[in-house]
Amino acid sequence: MLEEDVLRAGLHEVIDATEFDGLGRRESGKVRDIYLQPGRRILVTTDRISAFDCVLGTVPFKGQVLTQIAAFWFDQTRDIAPNHLEAVPDPNVMVVRECEQLPLEFIVRGYITGVTETSAWYNYSKGVRNFCGNVLPEGLHKDEKLLRPILTPTTKLEKHDRPISRDEAIAEGLISPSDFDAAADICFRLYERGSQIAARQGLILVDTKYEIGKLDGRLVVTDEIHTPDSSRYWYMDTYEDLFKAGKEQRKLDKEYVREWLAARGFRGRGTPPSLPDEVRIEAARRYIAAYEVITGRRFAPGATPALARIEKALRPYRIADAG
């Protein structure tokens, strides 16, 4: 784990945005700046943090953590399904193949929890018992392990993600039955692998989001996988005691920021409160801890200034007709 002075210095070294020349047309997502080239994309993961579909500010070293954890998991799961990763030329950068994205996000949940309006526990606490086609029994408690993992897709091309069932997604023409079922099979197997590896490191992979695309007619795993942004992790050794006591779990993910916002009345509507430096630093600690615990490797910050480092690493990817 980084020293306190390094974390505080990181507040002044965050990557808020990029604007590189010669790499192709630039698009900006919530967290990544994307440079489009024929047949591939260059994904530069910034330090921006989002929650409840809103960009909230920055967290030191977050982009590097996400990139390196995603690369770790792509390597650990390539035998289950192919993925879009071509290269990692910089700690904050992935070069990936261009894919045709399925218009759904596939969330696999092994536990019932969450504070967002698309989460299982939020909906269950409001009386929902059929959640995305999964019939849930009465009497469940927050953070309880489900009898078996469930798949709860959401839409991904709308202003706000919307929970949707398999039958609804097919009826709306979003996806074919064969593509849905094949993607679901991949996601359940990825979750099983992720849970096994996390358990060896003393963690519970609570739930996680997958994005699936098509490349040359095959389904491939895209975006990121099993990162603290797309997944919830809890410490295994204290799970049972905290659950029985009705207390909050020890977390290694973005839920800390979501809960901080929710405690101040923000769940995605209106103007979000500004993240104080102490919250940003604590979030950075958790991201870095997630990297170190999951991978078993010590986190080493990339050289600064980061933008100059990234620009140099991407020079081989410049294209003549970029713009």
Cα separation, 130 vs 294, whole angstroms: 33
pLDDT value for 8: 86
Q: Which residue has the tokens 């973005």?
A: 254
pLDDT value for 206: 97
Residue pair 236/251 in contact (Cβ under 8 Å)? The answer is no
Domain CATH number, residue 20: 3.30.470.20
Report if residue 323 sits inside a domain: no
Domain count, the chain: 1
> To which H or E segment does residue 150 belong?
strand 144-151
Residues 6+ apart with CB under 8 A from 43: 32, 33, 34, 93, 94, 95, 96
Tokens of 18: 């990029």
Report if residue 107 sits inside a domain: yes
Report if residue 261 sits inside a domain: yes
Residues 6+ apart with CB under 8 A from 210: 105, 106, 107, 108, 183, 186, 187, 190, 221, 223, 225, 230
Q: Which residue has the tokens 């739930």?
A: 207
Nearest to 282 by CA among 60, 99, 75, 95: 60
pLDDT value for 249: 95
pLDDT value for 323: 45
pLDDT value for 124: 97
Report if residue 110 sits inside a domain: yes
Report if residue 322 sits inside a domain: no
Tokens of 228: 């603290």
Alpha helix locations (H) across the chain? 4-10, 62-77, 120-125, 166-171, 177-200, 239-244, 255-262, 277-295, 306-313
Which range marks the domain in which residue 246 is found?
A: 4-317
> Global pTM?
0.92
CA end-to-end span of the chain: 40
pLDDT in tens, the chain (323 residues): 688 888 988 999 999 999 999 999 999 999 999 999 999 999 999 999 999 889 999 999 999 999 999 999 999 999 999 999 999 999 999 999 999 999 999 999 999 999 888 899 999 999 999 999 999 999 999 999 999 999 999 998 777 788 999 999 999 999 999 999 999 999 999 999 999 999 999 999 999 999 999 999 999 999 999 999 999 999 999 999 999 999 999 998 888 999 999 999 998 889 999 999 999 999 999 999 999 999 999 999 999 999 999 999 999 999 965 44
Cα separation, 188 vs 200, whole angstroms: 19
Residue pair 231/253 in contact (Cβ under 8 Å)? The answer is yes
DSSP labels, 179-212 = HHHHHHHHHHHHHHHHHHHHHHTTEEEEEEEEEE
